[in-house]
Chains A and B, each alone.
Chain A
Amino acid sequence: MDVLISGLLLGGAYALVAMGLNLQYGVARIMNLANGEVLVLGGLAAFWGFVSFGVSPIVSLLIVGPLAFIGSWVIYAFLLRPLVKRARNRGQLEVDTILATFGMSFFLVGLMVSLQAEYFTYSFLAVPVSVLGTTVAANRLVAALLAAAIGTALYLWLNRSRAGMAVRAVAVSPQSAGLVGINVARISALAFALGGTVTALGGSLISTFVTLDASAGVIFTMKALIIVIMGGVGDIRGSIVAALILGLVETAVATVVDPGLTLVAAYAIFLAVLLFRPQGLFGRRSA
């Protein structure tokens, strides 16, 4: 039961980050390998706000969100859009964006190391609360609830609003979306920026219960990628289910076998998905 509850709570935070990556890859067609660094940047902002100004990480979400949105939009418009234009086909774009976002990820790690070389340690809401007979830290519970709220809002926006419909149309086919009068470039930028925002918010939430440091990003990128692939590219529901599965399996391995093996567990899941269901849990088989 302990494993189940903490696994689900961890999975909730993963889900948010994976949703961000899914928007960037599924809609904007950018395989963003700097995703984990954006997450850590969100965590760093929350840490700073708390330690230097005494601002609660929950309040600082209100500042982190808009900043991440503007920052991601600028990166898309000035660095990634030229690559989209230059690419002759999807494969070329993939190679270019992978290399470019590697560059960004290293740059961000270097930047963050120079800003804060030590671990981002702070204590927020580290009080035990009881959930269904299991004791968990209040910060984990709050983080998971907020992640669920943000995720639900995003889901409703995508499925109920006009702009959300345009985003989903671009995810299905950028060419056809352009034919029905959707400004594909604009929607891609919007999706990329939203993805960055959600990731940074997830990072702020994660930092309340996981001790991050400047170079922690790549592991989160890896996990988010595994979740997106397991859930199916472009499928938000799939991401949520996959994130919960990963959270559960990781927590189980960490408690039963060894905490050092969580990445190995993630890889085992990845391998199973690749061998048995490469299109993802909810994905449809395509050519």
Chain B
Amino acid sequence: MKALYIASTGMGAQERNVEVISNNIANMRTTGYKRQRAEFEDLLYQQITRAGSQTSDQGTMIPAGLEIGSGVRTVSTPRVMSQGAVNITERELDVAIRGEGFFMVQLPDGRTAYTRDGSFERSPEGEIVTSTGYPIDPGITIPGTATSVAISPDGMVSAYLDNESTPTQMGQLQLARFVNKSGLESMGDNLFVETAASGPAQVSVPNNDGTGDLMQGYLEMANVNSVTEIADLIAAQRAYEMNARVISGADQMMQATSQLR
């Protein structure tokens, strides 16, 4: 009975759908989180009669074929890279990106990771680091004597040192853009790494070459919409139940067969 296997692919797909949705809901309050969406595809079809097969010598042919599909598979879980809500926090090292682009983060193993999470801190040495403690790239160090830090929309970081009345420039934040943002690989910790599918990072200063500008004192929230997620969850759950019913229906048919003697 093919229907059993077909329905089991359906249950598998819905299970994965629920996993993706629950991860979105779990990360509803994660700064800079981008929601994922499960995308499905139908599987190969068994061609029992091909459309257009001849039915007589007069050239009449079958107008529609007889084909039976073999279920569904999850093809990808692309991230929806739309802008999340921007909330005011009034912390001087909270930075939100308005528009496209990612902050660059130096990983301990030497690689560069990318993030939309702009909740930065200062390390004991005064370096600007992410909340996980990884330095941002290019590295910017703010001396301990600085009283306040200002970050301009185009990424210029300046600090007021020793109560001077004019700020001193400490460096400029840079943003990376990708041709295919959805192709980035997530590595947890709000970080993404580049893949062959994302294309190479194009680094530029904010407000240039299609990158967004920066907003100091704001954080970008997750772009998860709880109502949509719950609606999707209900739909996935019902679809799972229906596929389970198909399995029991197919089982009932098999039972009818096996009782024949």
A binds B: no
